[in-house]
Amino acid sequence: MPSTTDRFQEAVIFAVRLHANQLRKATDIPYVSHLFSVAALAMEHGATEDEAIAALLHDAVEDQGGKPTLEEIRRRFGDHVASIVDGCTDTDQHPKPPWRERKQAYIDHVHHASPSVCLVSACDKLHNSRCILSDVRVEGDAAFKKFTGSKDGTLWYYRSLVNGFAGKIPKRLADELERVVSELERLSSDHQTVQIIV
């Protein structure tokens, strides 16, 4: 993506407005930091402008209004952006379905998703897994307490996605996601061993 247009700038403003009052889970970090990080990763791995816009808006439907928000994205940015955002959406139901069932459905979905959906989703998962890894280095297994799936479920989910993305995303992105998730698994295993010995 050699340059951005007014559409991308509009998407930045729209994303900031949608997520203005949202924080990252169990932190004081503005949620938009995650959206900017995912968009940056997508652009660094060859995203088109549509894919970069979808990266900014990938959580909008799930977190900020469901299907009406998806239709607003379609109106503002077109069918392709809306289809990518829809493909990255875990669920638009409230209340959300049970965690394990929802995550398994998303893993299954990734196997058949478009390259654009896989690119944005993998960038999302890379940023999330980097943040988890950073927390685990400081807090140990306590870092997993904020997640519904706890440690075992979270590790299962990320490993399953690494496998699901294989061959569907740029190799450099796939390698980095593999490296981060493997390090997360190693640290978690080491921490568990220390607990047992003690």
Catalytic residues: 62-63
Please give the C-alpha separations between residue 119 and each of 105, 115, 124, 158, 174, in angstroms, as whole numbers. 18, 6, 9, 15, 10
- Collapsed DSSP state (helix, strand, coil) of residue 30: strand
Torsion of CA 154, 129, 184, 44, to 10 degrees: 150
Tokens 């077109």 found at? 78
Q: How many whole angstroms separate alpha carbon 65 and alpha carbon 79? A: 18
Contact 132, 70 (CB under 8 A): no
Contact 8, 53 (CB under 8 A): yes
Tokens at 59, concatenated: 């959580």
Phi and psi for 60 in degrees, rounded to 5? Answer: -65, -45
